[in-house]
A and B are shown apart, each in its own frame.
Chain A
Amino acid sequence: MPSVFDPSTVAEAAEILRAGGRVAIERDRDGADVLVSTARLNRILEHEPGDLTVIVEAGLRLSELQAALEPHGQMLALDPPGDPTIGACLAADLSGPRRHRYGAMRDLVIGVTVVLADGTVASSGGKVVKNVAGYDLGKLFSGSRGRLGLIARVALRLHARPATSATVVVEDRDLRETWTELQRSQLVPSAVDLLPPDRLALLFEGAEAAVEAQVAAVAGVRPADASIWEESAARQLAGNAVPFGWQPCLLARPGAGLAWVEESQPEPVWPPLAERVRAAFDPAGVLA
């Protein structure tokens, strides 16, 4: 059984990693001596509503962040299933239906502070949306699943909450045809989800008049909004997301109480170049 640590500062987290042994971050692994939890690294450090940016510690739950942003009419434009931590969203590249419009977690991260296996603390980016100084460690850590280091702090780009939203479901035997037509149209759905075998759900958000106009432009059945998206977000997938066009239409992974998500599939194998980077960041294989 590994010893569990839950640091409340980045310095403490660095100490723990520096102390050595085989470390698992947030999720137990075979052979781990130490399990680091970010449960107490969960503060909102800085929210500047006028800039639409926020800096948080990685253990903060998505729901808590959204709750704090809501009074300002703002949100993190990410809707993965369950209630993962911000760090998990980045490390596991979690996302939901709104990925179609707003992008993945990597597209919303503007700065990051990480702790490497040897206790080195490093930051990149900052708190401005537009920034090309240096290499983007936020992108590097996206999808890194705890094997490159611990994600300690994340600076995020926010969006305004849309005024209103509505859902349309299209039924069609040949959904690829529908998808192609959708691509060519000038509709701007926030989410497009495939509900196998023959239904496509479209989410429109924005000013009331705009949403109404777009819904009217699509022929289809209109069920209650919330249930479709809960269904999509909670739907279990066997295997990978269904590739549909260039963006997988639906990326639903099961949620759980932990920051990490229980995976039913094995860890993906990283390409050789990624392994080379991993070896540079963790030569001793502490996080392997």
Chain B
Amino acid sequence: MSLPAGFRAEVEPIVGAAGVVSELEQLRTYECDALTGHRAIPELVLLPETAEQVQRIVAACHAHGVPFVARGAGTGLSGGALPVAGGVVISLTRLNRVLEVDLGRGIAVVEPGVTNLDVTRAVAADGFFYAPDPSSQQVCTIGGNIAENSGGAHCLKYGFTVNHVLAADVVLPTGELVTLSRSDPGPDLLGVFVGSEGTLGIAVRITVRIVRVPEAVRTLLAAFETTDAAGDAVSHVIAAGILPAAIEMMDALTLEAVEAAVAAGYPAGAGAVLIVELDGPVAQVEVDSAAVERICRDFGAFELRAASDAEERARIWRGRKSSFAAMGRISPSYYVQDGVVPRTRLPEVLRRIYALGEERGLRIASVFHAGDGNLHPLVLYDEGLPGDAERAEELATAILDVCIDAGGSLTGEHGVGVDKVCSMPKLFGADDLAVMARLRNAFDPAGLANPGKVLPTPRLCGEVPGPYRVHPLERAGLAERL
């Protein structure tokens, strides 16, 4: 595969020689994101430094019919930044400036290559923060967060990226530059763009909402004997009408990995650990945390700790936030799954998942955003053993089927990317996918923006893309497929 004649000559002057990566050895380092099982070498990697350069590059891609994939820090877990053979990668990492901060209006204007944590850093001294906090926040970029509609532990209370993006200048796949705003008349195109996984264009300038740091924060760590007990505690917290800022759960295997990695000091011998964080006005936090502590004890928490200062709070979170990468300490390889189920079905789903793991002889470590039913089962395997990687992938798919069966979804926050694209028909019927395709085509008639992601095609997934599964709502007679 190679690029059309004249394309390189057109794009190279836009970014200069220092903005073009073209040696094979260097291109290889861009062949995947954090989902390393899928790799493809791009023809070129371009590193623009301004919004205008991005627009001109995309316009050139459109003129020459060259597919493109936008890339931030490459930490995505669904292969969203997987290059397209015969296409280019447009790296946004050099558009990394915080352009404006307006505390009075509660906004910041940033370029897409700014890391998530750097947004908070820009406003922290003034007592503000940027709320969506994926675990990779010190490295993942706002552009990537927008592509995946990233959540993070605190999205239970604060919402997702889509709730915090107020406007964006977007380069459409046609090369046009449009400004999408929450206050635009008509359909919420900005809301559609966030979470569209790089298939509808590239955001080059983003206005985000920044939030005042709450008056009080209380971080509780509770150790339980079993995930069931911890899950029950979570249900009762929610049923009591409490909305914590975050509720995270880690199982025993995860705790083992995390202790080996960062020695966060989690209680030894726990079958499950809950991190519950409450924030808000002082009096509200006091009422809520007393209730949470009581509920945890009622459900058998054998150790209950509250962080006494910012450092301890950071230490409690550090373990949770490095839990994926920490798996490297207890297993040579692992496969992260991202499933989401209605929270009330969590205990049952967990049991089924562990049973599946035992059945197939592979260990599963689980980390969850227990508050919203988003679970990350990590299937541990050894890619050095022949066949292990395939078995792990099969198990991960089986786990996904359990989630969908329980009324959940394919992905809570990692995105469909290339990882789940062929499973989309398990969740959506042909008409659903056709309408989504109409939407995508309205933005990208030439099909150049991150092709092969999100929506399945016969070429990608085979003519009959997977067995059709009856949706629980259909079974209940409450929905029809036409």
Contacts and interface: CB of A to CB of B under 8 A. Distances in A.
Interface residues of B, number: 92
B5 interface: no
A277 B189 contact: yes
Nearest to B408: A128
A50 B239 contact: yes
Interface in A141-176: 141-145, 148, 153, 159-161, 163
B417 to A, nearest CB: 10
A120 B195 contact: no
Interface string B421-448: 0001001110111111011111100000
B62 to A, nearest CB: 15
B384 interface: no
A209 interface: yes
Interface in B452-474: 454-455, 473
B159 interface: yes
A163 B149 CA distance: 32
Contacts of B163: 103, 107
A188 interface: yes
B387 interface: no
Given A10-B480, A113-B479, A245-B106, A140 B439 contact: yes
A277 B104 CA distance: 35
Contacts of A141: 187
Contacts of A273: 172, 178, 180, 189, 442-443
B201 to A, nearest CB: 10
B116 interface: no
Interface in B152-209: 155, 159-160, 162-163, 166, 172, 178, 180, 183-189, 191-192, 195-196, 209
Interface stretch (B53-61, B278-286, B326-334): B278-286
Contact of A46 (B187, B196, B473): B473
A280 B438 contact: yes
Given A180-B104, A210-B283, A269-B185, A51 B343 contact: yes
Nearest to A110: B409
A186 B344 contact: no
Given A50-B344, A132-B412, A213-B282, A281 B438 contact: yes
Query: Which of A127, A142, A186 has the largest number of chain B CB atoms within 10 A?
Result: A186
Contact of B409 (A11, A133, A206, A212): A133
Given A131-B409, A143-B187, 6 more contacts: A52-B238, A132-B413, A160-B242, A161-B241, A163-B241, A271-B185
Interface of B: 103-107, 127, 148-149, 151, 155, 159-160, 162-163, 166, 172, 178, 180, 183-189, 191-192, 195-196, 209, 212-215, 235, 238-239, 241-243, 280-284, 286-288, 340-344, 369, 372-374, 407-416, 420, 424, 427-429, 431-436, 438-443, 454-455, 473, 476, 478-480, 482
Q: Report, nearest first, the 10 A-B pairs whose CB atoms are least far apart.
A: A139-B191, A268-B185, A160-B241, A210-B284, A270-B186, A122-B435, A186-B215, A209-B283, A50-B344, A210-B283
